[in-house]
Amino acid sequence: MARYFKIQSAVTMLQKLQNVFSSKEIVSNYHTLSSAYYRSQTFSNPLKRRYLSSNKDSKQSGAGKSNSCNSTSCQSTPDKWPTGNRANFHFHPELESILNEQLNAELKAFYYYLSMASYFGRVDVALPGCESFFMQMHHEEHEHAIRFLNYITMRGGMVNLYSVNGPEDQDWKCPLNAFKTALQLEIDISDKLVSVNCVAEKYNDLNASDFIVTEFMEDQMKSINEMARLVTVLSGVGDQALARFMFDKDVLDHYVKSEFDILKKRNFDASKDCLKKKP
């Protein structure tokens, strides 16, 4: 209380001197008097003085300890991540490179088949069998690309994705043109698979060779045979409206899996909409 009254009296005295000094000088004088009074009260009390000095010493000693740490854990730098040290399991760089080329060839076919499916699904083309067939091929090529990607990663390699360009002319005009292009795509992919297998055998990589032969080659031969048969049929029947309709129906009935049947999906969606509209 005594301290409070002393400060209050000092403030009162400063307020009386407003006519003599400016307001800024009053504030500065007030802070000067207050700080001087606080210092006098602190250092006149031995307990406060002892507490402040001990607290200051403890802070300085703590700072000194933190700066004088010589342990190896403090001085060592963390390891670089990624480390760059790949355990590639005897995975030759040439084989890794050609597998990446095969991966990107699968993505190219994936892109082409998507273009074909979208063309035959157009309103002015309306061939659901061809649309479903190429959408099915699109999904198969995507699955193949993912399998190559996973294999390269499993062997400790690095996946390199290249830019994939779409077809120069995406107006396929007729089913025969699209199926001829698809046949050539399958032949090119098969040739690349043979090249990959040759590189695997060159470096005695039995695992890679087995992966190519057992996982892809037989299915690839079946795809080429299937495409060649469809090209033969289209070349024989021509491009008349009725022939195109019958060919499209045959493709939908015999070459397309049920989960890729566009007509079934549309009918299923339409039936769901009808059920929703019923009261």
Annotated binding site: 106, 141, 144, 186, 220
- Cα separation, 194 vs 214, whole angstroms: 12
Cβ-contact 121, 131 below 8 angstroms: yes
How far apart CA 115 and CA 105 sit, in angstroms, is: 16
170 neighbors 125 (Cβ within 8 angstroms): no
Nearest CA to 234 among 137, 135, 129? 129
The full DSSP string for 131-164 is: HHHHHHHHHHHHHHHHHHHHHHHHTT----PPP-
The residue among 120, 135, 127, 140 whose CA lies nearest residue 260 is 135
Going by the DSSP 8-state scheme, the letter that residue 122 receives in this structure is: S
Q: Which residues contact 212 (CB under 8 A, 6 or more apart)?
A: 193, 196, 197, 200
The first and second tokens of residue 117, run together, are: 């499916």
Annotated binding site for Fe cation: 106, 141, 144, 186, 220
Counting Cβ atoms within 10 Å, is residue 276 exposed (0-12), middle (13-18) or buried (19+)? exposed
